[in-house]
Structure 1
Amino acid sequence: MNSLTLKSRGFAGERIIEIPNETVDKCLSLPLINNLFITRMGFYPKARHHYYQRPVGISQVNFLYCTDGQGWIHLPQGWIIVHAGDVVLIATGIPHSYGSDNENPWIIHWLHCCGNGCDDAVDAIMGDRSGTPKVVNVGFSEERITVFDQIFDTFLRGHSQSNLLYANLAFPFFLASFILPGNFQKDISWGKTGNLTDKAISFMQDNLSTPVTLDNIAQSVHLICTFRQTYS
């Protein structure tokens, strides 16, 4: 590919928010959010020729969530191929570059976050912050994207203290969807081939305030006869 075609932004349908430096300072002054807050975020649909390089890394965590297509990330210890449903967090100070696949360009939701707790978010989702080349596959969740859009739209309405608090207090909830993705995509995790015991447990958890019989549980997994024969 001709290097002149590579670009870091300027994709049809993209959405980008950049938090001004004075607003970053304001976030640092707010005890509820100063440990972890967003400084930039965006959405790139079918980002053909997307490319970015940071030879010495940055002072913020870089978060990339691919929802379609694929791309790649280069870290000091190797390369990663990123597919739909993969998330990658790159810790502060880690040199990196990344780009979209030429034939099947990715769709990504991305953000940068700051604060003393930002590298802890890398540990929580990726398992470590060393820059080991790996991805975490969490699948797709409409609820997760809805939370992302709510945060983004809140920033669009301005940088008042209330908006900053709302958006950045919602941010840990968004991150939680990558730590326990099953809670955000139950239809996927309990699919047709799902474990019957897990389905039964899920049904009971969803009905804690309601009396539940063995027949109710058996019907929830469509195995009335089998359930009775095995557990009665």
Structure 2
Amino acid sequence: MDNLRKSDGFQSQKIIVLPDHIMQEAARHPLVQPLHVTDIGYFPRALHHYRERPEGSAAYIVMYCVDGEGWCRMNGHKAFRLLKGQVVVIPPGTPHAYASSEQQPWSIYWWHMKGQSAGDYYEGFSDAAEPAVIPVDQSRRMVELFQESYDLLQKGYTLNHIIHVSQLAGHLAAIIRLARLQPQHGLQPPHKHDLDETLRFMTEHLERNVSLKELAAYANLSVPHFTFRFKEATGYSPIDYYLRLKIQLACQHLDLTGQSIKEISHRLGFQDPYYFSRLFKKIMGKSPSDYRDTRKG
């Protein structure tokens, strides 16, 4: 049973709950099946907002705080604050409670999502996961995704509208998934890995050779810890990823310049053009010369 303190709504609130029978039918569609929204809403300056679900929810609950603050507790763990610019994801079946601050009531956008691939989209979010910080450049996009979804559903619960909103939900989940891997500025423990800084360092040094030890030192982590965190975030080891960035740049040189393959390989720090060609073919599936001869655009 759900417990709530505020039952008469909030001024200028927005809320849509899609009918179960409509969503059960729509969820059979291959473009809706992986991930879909069942409930969506916005509560501005939600003073006295409190919700408790001792049995949890059947859906993933996503709450994005855009102003003020509040708190959330999951599965009996210690409550944590949810601050402006942070998002929390509550997994299905997780007992939880959350509430707005009495002093600085939050304004939150929220979604309930289900789907066969929902667990993959929100991989890494558990009952012990801390909130993720949404980068400033993605904050506006989060709100736009909500508004586009809400406006479309306001026009009716047609299958085409639900399909469109499902694709928007996937975009939203991708933003949150990436944000989870970033450090929580101002809140993170010392030496937490900042993936964006590491990738920036890599891309700025593609015309020389950077060692794993050098990358770990730049991230201020031990080599094993850095390797683990980097692979967790990207799916590749640091050096493998670095070499792939070099090959991506090589593709641009092949497409946009008249430099020879040997010149390009030397420019990107490969002393052996044959090794460069073998690596290029391994990553791109064709030799540098075949790639250059392929018609594009």
2:87 corresponds to: 87
Report SS of the residue matched to 1:11.
coil
Structure 2 match to 1:144? 142
| 1:159 partner SS | coil
Displaced runs of 4 or more, over 3 A = 197-202, 208-212
Cα distance between partner residues in 1 of 2:35 and 2:82: 25
Which of the two has higher C-alpha Rg?
2
> Are residues 1:78 and 2:74 paired?
no
Distance 2:87 2:161 in 1: 26
Q: 1:7 matched to which residue of 2? A: 6
Amino acid at match of 1:55: P
Cα-to-partner distance string for 1:14-33 (whole Å, 9 max, x where unaligned) = 00011001211122221111
Task: Tell me which residue corresponds to 2:41.
Answer: 42
* CA distance 1:108–1:199, change in 2 (3 Å): farther
1:49 CA displacement: 0.5
Using the aligned pairs only, state the percent identity.
26
Task: Decide whether aligned partners of structure 1 residues 30 and 48 sit closer, same or farther in structure 2, where only a CA change above 3 A counts.
Answer: same
How many residue pairs get aligned? The number is 191
State the distance in 2 between where 1:38 and 1:68 align. Answer: 23
Counting only pairs closer than 5 Å after superposition, residues 86-125 of structure 1 correspond to structure 2 as: 86-123=86-123
Higher strand share: 1
Shift of 1:139: 3.9
Taking the TM superposition and a 5 Å limit, the aligned residue runs for 1:163-178 are 163-178=161-176
Partner Cα distance (1:200, 1:26) in 2 = 47
Partner of residue 159, structure 1: 157
- Where 1:108 maps in the other structure, the secondary structure is strand
Q: State how far apart, in whole Å, the 2-side matches of 1:93 and 1:99 are.
A: 19
Match of 2:280 in 1: none
1-side partners of 2:8 and 2:145: how far apart? 23
Instruction: Tell me, yes or no, if the aligned pair for 1:8 and 1:52 is still in contact at 8 Å.
Output: no
Q: What is the Cα deviation at residue 122 of structure 1? A: 2.5
Root mean square deviation of aligned Cα: 3.0
TM-score, normalization by structure 2: 0.58
Match of 1:33 in 2: 32
Amino acid at match of 1:109: Y
Instruction: Structure 1 unaligned segments of length 5 or more: list them.
Output: 182-193, 203-207, 213-232
1:27-75 CA deviation, whole Å, 9 max, x = no partner?
Answer: 2221111121000000011100000010010111111111111000111
C-alpha distance in structure 1 between counterparts of 2:8 and 2:135, whole Å: 25
The structure with more helix, counted as a fraction of residues? 2
CA distance in 2, matches of 1:7, 1:77: 24
Cα-to-partner distance string for 1:137-168 (whole Å, 9 max, x where unaligned): 11442122112110111111111111111111
State the 1:201 CA deviation.
5.4
The answer (yes or no) to whether the contact 1:84–1:139 under 8 Å persists in 2 is: no
Distance 2:50 2:128 in 1: 20
8 Å Cα contact 2:89/2:125 also seen in 1: no
1:155 and 1:121 map into 2 onto residues whose CA distance is 22
Distance of 2:155 and 2:175 partners within structure 1: 24
Work out which structure has the larger RCO, using CA pairs closer than 8 Å and 6 or more positions apart in sequence.
1
TM-score of the superposed pair, with normalisation by structure 1: 0.73
- Give 1:191's aligned residue: none
* Unmatched 5+ stretches in structure 2: 180-195, 205-251, 258-297
SS in structure 2 at match of 1:175: helix
